[in-house]
């Protein structure tokens, strides 16, 4: 129903002359300043539910969004993605007032297996064939420890992956199911285990390095769990909460969940007093609604795991004292409770290992046979399955 309504609104906008632009979100812009720019009452924002206000704080600079303006320059509607799954929709109703809702993003999704003969370099050749720079980055990431400087012209890389696509362009990060690289005389494999989302070789030996994140405070209870996208059957709308809320008394100490460098310290929209720590390898943590920061904490400073960084509060848009903990991997919000206190991967054992090896053996053979048979300098597409996702955008 939301998709039908949105398509109808957009169709009518085109019919009556709305101007459509795809733009990068300006640096330093917040949802509130955006409302002010278009003379929209800020009451709209303050009347939102807590989860929606927090989603407004997830808007990041340079994120591409769609802006629809009337002939007189006033805002007709805007679509602002805040994750791979959810976007904010602000639109002008028939009576001239503005309404807010969250909508799912309707993307296409395809799975393909490609084999590429190296001509220039791993990154250049993957980008040249697929047009997706993040795929090359992620291949290198899962093969951390492999010295790609030793890769030679004529070596092969083979990848099976799933990629979301929006308006003909890659959307979000690709999911690599399995990959193989030749580096001189050596051949390396990595396969994703669906049970723990970690990568192993063809023998079930683990390589995924995981930070030993710890829960950053003593809390009373978890007051709100992480969810990317959920349709509320009563409210008839999509909800998302891109973090975990830990209820605790005001003033209780907050500690760094892992070692890293403080990337941000200050006010962040509905998140209030916020600290963001960059832990390297694509990981960042966000600590929101703090009452105040620890006195010795500053931006750019290195911190250790367990180091005191602030105090529980309810600054920003909060219904009571708690810590909103966000965890991000390569810019994508992930569930903190699935990473906290996870041990570093050693390897699979027993029946789980047997099942994993059986499930990956056919792909090992597929990679090897295709590369041996083709021996071309262009990508050989082994399979491609394209289908619509079950969530909707434009």
Q: Which of 1-5, 81-85, 236-240 has the lowest mean pLDDT?
A: 1-5
**Quick one: average pLDDT of 176-203?**
89
Q: Supply the range of the domain harboring residue 9.
A: 2-104
Ramachandran category for residue 28: left, alpha or beta (phi over 0 → left; psi -120 to 50 → alpha): left
Q: Which of 179-193, 308-322, 374-388 has the lowest mean pLDDT?
A: 374-388
330 falls within a domain: yes
**Quick one: average pLDDT of 97-119?**
90
Q: Which of 23-27, 83-87, 109-113, 231-235 has the lowest mean pLDDT?
A: 231-235
Are both 291 and 316 inside the same structural domain?
Answer: yes
Given a cut of 90, whether residue 262 has pLDDT beyond it is: yes
Given a cut of 70, whether residue 251 has pLDDT beyond it is: yes
Q: For residue 291, give both structure tokens.
A: 């009452």
- pLDDT of amino acid 9: 45
**Quick one: average pLDDT of 144-166?**
90
- pLDDT of amino acid 134: 86
Are both 279 and 325 inside the same structural domain?
Answer: yes
Are both 97 and 114 inside the same structural domain?
Answer: no
Given a cut of 60, whether residue 8 has pLDDT beyond it is: no
Q: For residue 75, give both structure tokens.
A: 């805002």
Q: For residue 313, give both structure tokens.
A: 């509060």
**Quick one: average pLDDT of 36-58?**
89
375 falls within a domain: yes
The gap between the terminal CA atoms of the chain, to the nearest Å, is 13
284 falls within a domain: yes
Are both 203 and 267 inside the same structural domain?
Answer: no
216 falls within a domain: no
Q: What is the mean pLDDT of the chain?
A: 83
Are both 78 and 117 inside the same structural domain?
Answer: no
Are both 121 and 163 inside the same structural domain?
Answer: yes
Would the pTM count as exceeding 0.85? no
- pLDDT of amino acid 382: 36
Are both 117 and 79 inside the same structural domain?
Answer: no
Higher pLDDT, residue 12 or 236: 236
CATH of the domain at 266: 2.70.70.10
Residue 3's pLDDT band (cuts 50, 70, 90): very low
**Quick one: average pLDDT of 108-123?**
90
46 falls within a domain: yes
Are both 360 and 331 inside the same structural domain?
Answer: no
| Residue (of 59, 58, 77, 60) closest to 19 by Cα position | 77
C-beta of residue 238 within 8 angstroms of C-beta of residue 103 = yes
Are both 316 and 349 inside the same structural domain?
Answer: no
- 85-97, pLDDT tens digit by residue? 889 999 999 999 9
300 falls within a domain: yes
C-beta of residue 217 within 8 angstroms of C-beta of residue 255 = yes
Radius of gyration of the chain (CA): 23
Q: Which of 27-31, 91-95, 289-293, 316-320 has the lowest mean pLDDT?
A: 316-320
Given a cut of 70, whether residue 166 has pLDDT beyond it is: yes
Q: Which of 174-188, 189-203, 247-261, 380-394 has the lowest mean pLDDT?
A: 380-394
CA distance 59 to 255: 25
The domain boundary residue, chosen from 83, 104, 125:
104
Q: Give how many domains the chain has, as a whole number.
A: 3
350 falls within a domain: yes
Size of the chain in residues: 394
- 357-368, pLDDT tens digit by residue? 888 888 888 787
Are both 85 and 100 inside the same structural domain?
Answer: yes
- 325-343, pLDDT tens digit by residue? 999 988 888 888 887 755 4
Are both 97 and 146 inside the same structural domain?
Answer: no
Higher pLDDT, residue 217 or 370: 217
59 falls within a domain: yes
CATH of the domain at 80: 3.10.450.350
- pLDDT of amino acid 241: 84
- pLDDT of amino acid 141: 85
Are both 164 and 310 inside the same structural domain?
Answer: no
Q: Which of 43-52, 183-192, 223-232 has the lowest mean pLDDT?
A: 223-232
């Amino acid at each position: 129903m939301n998709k039908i309504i949105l398509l109808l609104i957009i169709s009518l906008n085109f019919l009556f002359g709305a101007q459509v632009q795809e733009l990068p979100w300006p640096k330093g812009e917040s949802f509130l300043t955006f409302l002010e720019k278009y003379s929209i009452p800020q009451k709209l924002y303050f009347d939102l539910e807590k989860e929606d206000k927090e989603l407004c704080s997830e808007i990041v600079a340079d994120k591409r969004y769609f802006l629809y303006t009337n002939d007189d320059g006033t805002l007709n509607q805007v679509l602002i993605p805040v994750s791979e799954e959810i976007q904010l929709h602000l639109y002008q109703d028939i009576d001239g007032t503005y309404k807010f809702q969250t909508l799912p993003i309707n993307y296409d999704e395809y799975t393909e297996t490609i084999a590429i003969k190296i001509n220039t370099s791993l990154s250049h050749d993957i980008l040249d064939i697929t047009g997706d720079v993040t795929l090359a980055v992620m291949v290198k990431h899962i093969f951390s420890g492999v010295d790609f400087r030793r890769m030679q012209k004529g070596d092969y890389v083979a990848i099976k992956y799933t990629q979301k696509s929006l308006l003909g362009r890659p959307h979000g990060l690709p999911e690599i199911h399995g990959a193989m690289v030749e580096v001189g005389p050596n051949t390396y494999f990595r396969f994703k285990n669906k049970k723990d989302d970690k990568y192993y070789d063809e023998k079930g030996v683990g390589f995924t390095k995981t930070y030993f994140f710890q829960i950053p405070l003593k809390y009373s209870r978890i007051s709100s769990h992480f969810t990317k996208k959920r349709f509320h059957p009563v409210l008839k709308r999509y909800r998302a909460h891109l973090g975990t809320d830990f209820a605790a008394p005001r003033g209780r100490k907050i500690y760094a969940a892992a070692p890293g460098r403080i990337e941000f310290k200050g006010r962040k929209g509905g998140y209030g007093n916020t600290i963001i720590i960059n832990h390297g390898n694509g990981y960042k943590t966000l600590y929101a609604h703090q009452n105040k920061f620890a006195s010795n904490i500053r931006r750019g400073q290195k911190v250790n795991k367990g180091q005191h960084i602030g105090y529980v509060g309810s600054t920003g848009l909060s219904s009571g004292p708690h810590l909103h903990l966000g965890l991000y991997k390569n810019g994508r919000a992930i569930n903190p409770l699935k990473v906290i206190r996870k041990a570093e991967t050693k390897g699979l054992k027993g029946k789980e290992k047997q099942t994993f090896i059986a499930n990956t053996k056919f792909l090992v053979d597929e990679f090897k046979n295709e590369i041996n048979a083709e021996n071309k300098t262009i990508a050989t597409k082994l399979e491609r399955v394209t289908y619509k996702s079950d969530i909707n955008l434009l």
